[in-house]
Amino acid sequence: MTGDRSGAPAPPPGGTGNGPAVSRQEFDALFDRVRTWGRWTPADRGAWNRVTPEHVRRATALVRSGTAVPLGRAWNTTPGPDNSRPALHYMSDLGDLEPPEPATHKDFIAVDYHGKAVSHLDALSHAAYRGQLYDGRAARECIDAGGARFGAVSALGPLVTKGVLLDLPAVLGCDWLEPGRAVHAEDLVSAERALGVTIGEGDAVLLRSGSVRRRREVGVWDPGTASAGCHVDAVPLLAERGIALLGGDGDSDVRPSPVDGVHSPVHALALVAMGVPLLDNLDLEALSVAAAETGRYAFLLVVAPLDIPGGTGSPVDPVAVL
Amino acid sequence: MTGDRSGAPAPPPGGTGNGPAVSRQEFDALFDRVRTWGRWTPADRGAWNRVTPEHVRRATALVRSGTAVPLGRAWNTTPGPDNSRPALHYMSDLGDLEPPEPATHKDFIAVDYHGKAVSHLDALSHAAYRGQLYDGRAARECIDAGGARFGAVSALGPLVTKGVLLDLPAVLGCDWLEPGRAVHAEDLVSAERALGVTIGEGDAVLLRSGSVRRRREVGVWDPGTASAGCHVDAVPLLAERGIALLGGDGDSDVRPSPVDGVHSPVHALALVAMGVPLLDNLDLEALSVAAAETGRYAFLLVVAPLDIPGGTGSPVDPVAVL
Amino acid sequence: MTGDRSGAPAPPPGGTGNGPAVSRQEFDALFDRVRTWGRWTPADRGAWNRVTPEHVRRATALVRSGTAVPLGRAWNTTPGPDNSRPALHYMSDLGDLEPPEPATHKDFIAVDYHGKAVSHLDALSHAAYRGQLYDGRAARECIDAGGARFGAVSALGPLVTKGVLLDLPAVLGCDWLEPGRAVHAEDLVSAERALGVTIGEGDAVLLRSGSVRRRREVGVWDPGTASAGCHVDAVPLLAERGIALLGGDGDSDVRPSPVDGVHSPVHALALVAMGVPLLDNLDLEALSVAAAETGRYAFLLVVAPLDIPGGTGSPVDPVAVL
Amino acid sequence: MTGDRSGAPAPPPGGTGNGPAVSRQEFDALFDRVRTWGRWTPADRGAWNRVTPEHVRRATALVRSGTAVPLGRAWNTTPGPDNSRPALHYMSDLGDLEPPEPATHKDFIAVDYHGKAVSHLDALSHAAYRGQLYDGRAARECIDAGGARFGAVSALGPLVTKGVLLDLPAVLGCDWLEPGRAVHAEDLVSAERALGVTIGEGDAVLLRSGSVRRRREVGVWDPGTASAGCHVDAVPLLAERGIALLGGDGDSDVRPSPVDGVHSPVHALALVAMGVPLLDNLDLEALSVAAAETGRYAFLLVVAPLDIPGGTGSPVDPVAVL
């Protein structure tokens, strides 16, 4: 990413490398380093325990313009390379089933929301590493066909905290990060400096790669094959800062994974080691515009998952209030 | 409802009457009186257009303790008298479908959310009166099997505003309103006075009848047959105040309906005449406790519906921040 | 069941006893006695391997009147004591989505079909006893969130064979068997004699208890608590005869179970020990009438499950041709 | 299709033309010509009323080898050009929800079965032409969000009749008909002659184009854009013969449609004018092999739709018995 004294053309700011490669041993050391097991009660609220009422008050005090920006993508019922399990939407009453007056119109929705198409929250039960969920719980004992008995989304409740938008294309002066471009700790630090924000304890970090804009302008691709996202070397910084939530317009992991034998290493570190829920597949385009206009990259963020007992997450449409 | 000089015991404060009866002609006059058609652009955001950035700022400034209280009920997959179309929740991956590491757990959810069991937002397309949606649009031209082209939930976006809890059992000194008990304008005014709040323009009014507590303590019943809620005579007051949202732990309508030939008159008035979305089937028990403890019945409210194009509403789990 | 010389009133012919009680040790001995593991290739077609082309030919030769009788119940979207997971049926196109001509009407169906409400076929993967599926396969290795790799309904294909209706109320001279009434080997033998049929190798045995008639006339109850069905002492006879399929208007098990610690002992014996698929929750009322009219209790039976890879069964609407 | 005296190479036998073009006026005349409205009671069993018990007896008498061949495709949960609304299949119990013994494994299935991916039966309510269903019923009065009150699949019941396989690639000496190739009356007559069968009253005609083989060997395509199927000029022959059912490995219509302004003209003629249900998207490969081996292209066919009240059809897995 740095300049080049040799005179050779600089790589494009949106970059493409997903490296450096990380061995399984290095990854496991990293996992142990950022682990927060045993720290909180209730354990399955994980890092959301960091968000104290004092933190909520300070987050609401960030509001200046009073603009509320939704961060969720539209419900997508059309299959595609990034939507292998399309959501369903059927009308269950067109005003012709129940007697009027009034006539009522109703609908049925269904979704297998994990994946790359639906804006959703990953609860701590979504991932296990070496057979263990967050806090060292045995996945096999906690999860069955009825759902998760530990780490369910119902254990999280709503999150009201300070959100920080790290708008990387804005910082790097490009339209979007190319799929496969890793985001490193130094990118996060540069972004903080350039955007005038500081990631602090209990904050929600939202990473914009510009993937939604790229999809609209270039066309759809399979983000499971290539997507911009965090390299694991960015995670210790996030751990030190004590974040409560990590999210973005991808699923936080750079793909292909740079870690040998671990397809979603940031998921493993955030959800399993650190107890940090993830917010996947947001649409941060409107927020990017609003933040640029106001010059404010820190704001009040509200995430309100559905209260699904046993659920491993929830579709959500988070709200940023600037 | 009135006192009794004869010495006979006074009726319980939670009452039971759903009257007075209202003729269809009287109802239609009321409909015309509170109608706001033609007032806003976009029309299908209806009364949410009242919530300006200034209003958002003032709402966030209400936060004192920093306590965030979820207002949604748990996802309910069990049929019952109040749940004739139970929600679905299936695990789609138990860590055995995609290769580890990490193992991932996933689920599928489905719901026909209108009814009496799911906390949900009614968008303006949910109801039509005399063939018309809000703003006078012909329901037949706006709604088909693909959903609503006018008044969809996707036209609403998120709501961030001042919420006002009218905790009627707290005011009346009872555990809950009996099913079938109508709430009148004078009840709302008494509640404002007793709780130290004022319903203003752009506010979200949440009516607590105590039905969730009653369900827990007495057992389940069919709220389609009998439920506490607003009599239509309470609506002009809400219209004058210029509310943005009406919600509660029922569906806002007293049942049986006091209006001849109109099964859900408050739905017709709020959604169709006034453009006021409704928030049905909340769980306001925790909010009631928190409000009583702090003595604050006005707070920051955030409602974040899923962005379902064509949807007539959305399951939601609104958040009150005190 | 037999008469009484003492002059005391005879018990009603529909009886009610689910006994005699059977110990777990006796049950395990019975399991070993009727076990057919290792006998067939492919193993997961189980007893359907008994139905040879010769058998098919003889079954089609049974047809006399040419009357085709459906044996399935109607799709039931209404919750009830016997329908805790109601089926779904939504219109996905009302002629308003795709451009005419012609206009097309479409629908979406969904069902969690095991249980007491849906006529369905149990494939061999539906049940495991002591951790093992039919043929001794370890359930844990064969079944995961993606479905069954052994014993799936797709391994069965269609069944065309001789069906035998054992119409017990017709034999006993009652309207129906009372819920909880066990059917014993001697009941089967009496029925064969009275109805002029013989259960032979490769046959499908359909037991009518009259439960559908009882439901219609008396009202609905929870068949999980009490239902007429086979006592395990009827199973050795069925094993000796070499049946291919066992079905009925219940789920073949008498409930409450007479076997200590085994809630569905006939399921365990048929599916796991004998490799005999089960046909649950049929409606045999029309077949009962047609059989009585013609005096023919043996007929051509066709069961055509959906070809669901990994499925543990399928909703079906079997056809009897008399 | 005909020879060429000029010496130019003959067109491939699988052909490609969808013509000749047909005007809307010609189509409407054809519609009136083949119309059977008012002929049957119950009307919405349509041409299935032609299948008398005598016909059933003769069909069962066709069985020679006793081979039962399933004609349905596998449940397809993967999106693709021919599968825009993939079916769902989730395990609802992995032996971990209900207490053993036995352990039980259960699943949930869902499907919007009309389209190009699911083997299914079209009931008469599936299509309307000029606002009318079969028998002249007004579609608008018969069909609403609750389903079809006329022409539902539940009105059909099972079909047991003589099936006739018109294996066109076998007749033409090619592997498959190219997508877009129209099948004409003379193709049907040639096929009858070549295969030694005669289409008679009450028969089910199954047209094999070889599309399933082509999909396997060449790859998937969108059959909505191009598929082999009947030209409307083949329909009068089928009408004269008095068939009960028309089906195939496509959806019976050649696409693109040769009829101006009518996208599915064979659907309109069969379902709406003639009352002939359709059987779409079969897999006739195994039947083709079995028929070639035995030289028998007429057989016993059983179609057993699910009994869905109000349903416009049903997924099915029909069975041919040779």
Please state the pTM of the whole predicted model.
0.95
Of A73, A126, A317, which has the smallest distance from its Cβ to B104's Cβ? A126
Residue B181 CA to chain centroid, in angstroms? 16
pLDDT at A9 over 90: no
Sort strands D159-167 and D204-208 into parallel, antiparallel or unpaired: parallel
Nearest-CA distance D218 → chain A (Å): 21
Cβ-defined contact of A90 to C94 (cutoff 8 Å): no
Q: What is the pLDDT of residues C208-258, one digit of tens each?
A: 999 999 999 999 999 999 999 999 999 999 999 999 999 999 999 999 999
Residue C140 makes CB contacts below 8 A (sequence gap 6+) with C131
Instruction: List the single best residue of B77, B85, B90 to mutate versus D (max D Cβ within 10 A).
Output: B90
Nearest-10 Cα torsion for B3, B4, B5, B7: -120
* Residue C53, token pair as written in the block: 């082309």
Cβ-defined contact of B91 to A268 (cutoff 8 Å): no
Instruction: List the single best residue of C25, C57, C107 to mutate versus D (max D Cβ within 10 A).
Output: C107
Task: Give the separation between CA C107 and CA D102, rounded to whole angstroms.
Answer: 36
Q: What is the pLDDT of residues A199-224, one digit of tens each?
A: 999 999 999 999 999 999 999 999 99
- Answer yes or no: are the C-beta atoms of C298 and C277 closer than 8 Å: no
ipTM confidence? 0.95
- In chain C, residues with a C-beta closer than 8 Å to the C-beta of A88 are 108
Task: Give the separation between CA A237 and CA A243, rounded to whole angstroms.
Answer: 10
Q: What φ, ψ does residue B238 adopt, rounded to 5°?
A: -65, -35
Domain assignment present for residue B11? The answer is no
Domain assignment present for residue C215? The answer is yes
Of B61, B108, B158, which has the smallest distance from its Cβ to A68's Cβ? B158
Nearest-CA distance B146 → chain D (Å): 12
Of all residues in chain D, the one with the smallest CA distance to C154 is: D74
Report percent pLDDT > 70 for chain D: 95
Task: Give the separation between CA B318 and CA B165, rounded to whole angstroms.
Answer: 13
Helix extents (H) in chain C: 24-34, 53-60, 139-142, 168-172, 185-195, 211-217, 235-241, 265-267, 285-294
Of all residues in chain B, the one with the smallest CA distance to A273 is: B102
What are the C-alpha distances in Å from B139 to residues B30, B126, B246, B253? Answer: 21, 10, 22, 22
Provide the domain limits for residue C143.
24-74+116-321
Tens digit of each residue's pLDDT, chain C (322 residues): 333 334 444 555 666 699 899 999 999 999 999 999 999 999 999 999 999 999 999 999 999 999 999 999 999 999 999 999 999 999 999 999 888 999 999 999 999 999 999 999 999 999 999 999 999 999 999 999 999 999 999 999 999 999 999 999 999 999 999 999 999 999 999 999 999 999 999 999 999 999 999 999 999 999 999 999 999 999 999 999 999 999 999 999 999 999 999 999 999 999 999 999 999 999 999 999 999 999 999 999 999 999 999 999 999 999 999 9
- The strand pairing partners of C112, in sequence order, are D108
- The strand pairing partners of C227, in sequence order, are C255
pLDDT at B15 over 80: no
Which DSSP string do the residues of C245-257 spell out, in sequence order?
A: EEEESS-SB-BS-
Which chains contact D through at least 3 pairs of Cβ atoms less than 8 Å apart? A, B, C
Q: What is the greatest pairwise CA distance in chain C?
A: 78
Which chains contact A through at least 3 pairs of Cβ atoms less than 8 Å apart? B, C, D
Nearest-CA distance D86 → chain A (Å): 8
> What's the sign of the alpha-carbon dihedral A285, A290, A291, A293?
positive
Q: How confident is the prediction for chain D on average, in pLDDT?
A: 95
pLDDT at B8 over 60: no
Task: Give the separation between CA C194 and CA C187, rounded to whole angstroms.
Answer: 10
Cis upstream peptide for A54 (omega within 30°): no
Residue B268 makes CB contacts below 8 A (sequence gap 6+) with A101, A102, B31, B127, B129, B262
Nearest-CA distance C3 → chain D (Å): 36
- The strand pairing partners of B134, in sequence order, are none
SS3 label, residue B315: strand
Instruction: List the single best residue of D83, D84, D116 to mutate versus A (max A Cβ within 10 A).
Output: D84
- In chain B, residues with a C-beta closer than 8 Å to the C-beta of A145 are 90-91, 94
Note the residue count of chain B. Answer: 322
- Answer yes or no: are the C-beta atoms of D122 and D271 closer than 8 Å: yes
* Residue D222, token pair as written in the block: 């969108």
One-letter amino acid for residue A94 of the chain: L
Domain assignment present for residue C90? The answer is no
Q: What is the pLDDT of residues A139-157, one digit of tens each?
A: 999 999 999 999 999 999 9
**Average pLDDT, integer, range A257-274:** 98
Cβ-defined contact of C145 to B91 (cutoff 8 Å): yes
Cβ-defined contact of C108 to A90 (cutoff 8 Å): yes
Cβ-defined contact of A102 to B127 (cutoff 8 Å): yes
Note the residue count of chain A. Answer: 322
Q: What is the pLDDT of residues B86-128, one digit of tens each?
A: 999 999 999 998 889 999 999 999 999 999 999 999 999 999 9
SS3 label, residue C280: strand
- A→C contacts (Cβ < 8 Å), by residue, are 88, 90-92, 94, 108, 145
Q: What is the greatest pairwise CA distance in chain B?
A: 78
Taking alpha carbons only, the member of C57, C140, C129 closest to residue C275 is C129
- In chain D, residues with a C-beta closer than 8 Å to the C-beta of B92 are 90
Give the single-character DSSP code of C274: I
Exposed, middle or buried by CB within 10 Å (0-12, 13-18, 19+), for A214?
Answer: buried
One-letter amino acid for residue D68 of the chain: A
pLDDT at A2 over 90: no
- In chain A, residues with a C-beta closer than 8 Å to the C-beta of C94 are 94
Residue B113, CB half-sphere, CA atoms under 13 Å: how many? 30
- Answer yes or no: are the C-beta atoms of B219 and B178 closer than 8 Å: no
Q: What φ, ψ does residue B172 adopt, rounded to 5°?
A: -85, -10
Domain assignment present for residue C270? The answer is yes
pLDDT at B292 over 60: yes
Q: What is the pLDDT of residues D198-245, one digit of tens each?
A: 999 999 999 999 999 999 999 999 999 999 999 999 999 999 999 999
What are the C-alpha distances in Å from D31 to residues D38, D185, D258, D272? Answer: 15, 16, 15, 9
- In chain B, residues with a C-beta closer than 8 Å to the C-beta of A66 are 52-57, 60
Task: Give the separation between CA C112 and CA B87, rounded to whole angstroms.
Answer: 13
Sort strands A298-303 and A127-128 into parallel, antiparallel or unpaired: unpaired
Cβ-defined contact of C90 to A92 (cutoff 8 Å): yes
Radius of gyration of chain A (CA): 20
- In chain B, residues with a C-beta closer than 8 Å to the C-beta of A70 are 157-158, 304, 307
Confidence (pLDDT) at C98: 83
How many helices (H) and strands (E) chain A has is answered by 9, 16
Sort strands A182-183 and A229-230 into parallel, antiparallel or unpaired: parallel
Task: Give the separation between CA C121 and CA C114, rounded to whole angstroms.
Answer: 9
**Average pLDDT, integer, range B211-228:** 97
For chain C, what is the domain count?
Answer: 1
Confidence (pLDDT) at C5: 39
* Residue D199, token pair as written in the block: 């289409």
pLDDT at D10 over 80: no
- In chain C, residues with a C-beta closer than 8 Å to the C-beta of B143 are none
Nearest-CA distance D69 → chain A (Å): 32
Nearest-CA distance A218 → chain D (Å): 21
Task: Give the separation between CA B222 and CA B215, rounded to whole angstroms.
Answer: 10
- In chain D, residues with a C-beta closer than 8 Å to the C-beta of C316 are 304, 306
- In chain B, residues with a C-beta closer than 8 Å to the C-beta of C91 are 145
SS3 label, residue B41: coil
* Residue C302, token pair as written in the block: 């066709």
Domain assignment present for residue B232? The answer is yes
* Residue B277, token pair as written in the block: 């979305």
Cβ-defined contact of A91 to C88 (cutoff 8 Å): no
Task: Give the separation between CA C111 and CA C86, rounded to whole angstroms.
Answer: 7
Instruction: List the single best residue of B83, B88, B109 to mutate versus C (max C Cβ within 10 A).
Output: B88
Of B56, B158, B304, which has the smallest distance from its Cβ to A66's Cβ? B56
How many helices (H) and strands (E) chain C has is answered by 9, 16
Which DSSP string do the residues of D190-211 spell out, in sequence order?
A: HHHHHHT----TT-EEEEE--H
Instruction: List the single best residue of D90, D107, D108, D312 to mutate versus B (max B Cβ within 10 A).
Output: D90
Q: What is the pLDDT of residues D286-304, one digit of tens each?
A: 999 999 999 999 999 999 9
* Residue A44, token pair as written in the block: 């399955």
Cβ-defined contact of A91 to D145 (cutoff 8 Å): yes
Task: Give the separation between CA A148 and CA A139, rounded to whole angstroms.
Answer: 9
- Answer yes or no: are the C-beta atoms of D227 and D248 closer than 8 Å: no
Which chains contact C through at least 3 pairs of Cβ atoms less than 8 Å apart? A, B, D
- Answer yes or no: are the C-beta atoms of D232 and D266 closer than 8 Å: yes
Instruction: List the single best residue of A78, A89, A91 to mutate versus C (max C Cβ within 10 A).
Output: A91
Of all residues in chain B, the one with the smallest CA distance to A99 is: B263
Give the single-character DSSP code of C271: I
Of all residues in chain C, the one with the smallest CA distance to D260 is: C101
Q: What φ, ψ does residue B320 adopt, rounded to 5°?
A: -105, 135
Instruction: List the single best residue of B83, B89, B97, B107 to mutate versus C (max C Cβ within 10 A).
Output: B97
- In chain B, residues with a C-beta closer than 8 Å to the C-beta of A112 are 92, 106-108
Domain assignment present for residue D155? The answer is yes
Domain assignment present for residue A275? The answer is yes
Cβ-defined contact of D73 to C148 (cutoff 8 Å): no
- C→B contacts (Cβ < 8 Å), by residue, are 78-80, 83-86, 88, 91-94, 96-97, 110, 112, 144-146
Cβ-defined contact of C94 to A94 (cutoff 8 Å): yes
How many other β-carbons are positioned within 10 Å of the β-carbon of residue D65? 16
Give the single-character DSSP code of B73: P
- Answer yes or no: are the C-beta atoms of C293 and D53 closer than 8 Å: no
Confidence (pLDDT) at A99: 85
**Average pLDDT, integer, range B73-88:** 98
Domain assignment present for residue B134? The answer is yes
* N-to-C CA span, chain D: 32
Task: Give the separation between CA C300 and CA C66, rounded to whole angstroms.
Answer: 10
What CATH number is given to the structural domain containing D273?
3.50.30.50
Task: Tell me how many residue pairs between chain A and chain C have CB atoms under 8 A apart.
Answer: 12
* Residue C104, token pair as written in the block: 């097309």
- In chain A, residues with a C-beta closer than 8 Å to the C-beta of C88 are 108
